[in-house]
Amino acid sequence: MSGEKNILNAKLWVKNYADQLFRFASMRINDKEAAKDLVQETFLAALRNVDTFNGEISEKNWLYTILKNKIIDHYRKKSSSLISQLETSNNESEYFDEENHWIKNRVPREWQIDYNATLDSKEFLEILQQCMKRLSELLKMVFSMKYLDERESDEICKELKITSSNYWVILHRSKLQLRGCIEKEWFIK
């Protein structure tokens, strides 16, 4: 009887939460197939561990917690190879000159925007999501952990096994690229 109940639980989880979990994973992972795999792994892990679920949090939160851990595992596996790419790529030359001063037309400008306007905010979030898709996986990974998952810097370094220096370079580059993309897509049309 317990097996039938578990299958029923799994079907309900997929019906109720699959799309939400996929959107959550897609915001953090550049690869849609990998995001789908992580959601599937989440459901399998939940099914394997359903007997340990004690109801202290909702099923939805429990599934999100499992998915977050799956995403962290995914990040951890990829981070060491991605760090070497970070060290060989330097796209900051499009923002800074040889003396590390801002290039005149790349200096950040004040954004003239009403952040309280509902339609504009929705459009802005869509543009942010589009711009995040353009980030390299490592940049997106660290930015997502810091600003979407609100994790502490030292926790991110520990999870991804990166140095504090690498972390700050990654975060800096992700902000530069996002700002450039957002300005291009949102302000300069």
Domain boundaries, the chain: 1-72, 89-189
Phi then psi for 102, rounded to 5 degrees?
-60, 135
Rounded to an integer, what distance in angstroms lies between the CA atom of residue 112 and that of residue 33?
38
What's the CATH number for 1-72? Answer: 1.10.1740.10
Question: Would you state the pLDDT for residue 95?
Answer: 60
Residue 1 confidence class, pLDDT cut points 50, 70, 90: very low
- What single-letter amino acid sits at 132? M
pLDDT tens digits for 80-99? 666 655 554 555 566 666 66
CATH number for the domain whose boundaries are 89-189? 1.10.10.10
pLDDT at res. 102: 59
Q: Choose among 189, 91, 186: nearest CA to 135.
A: 91
- Say what the pTM is: 0.62
Q: What length is written for the chain?
A: 189
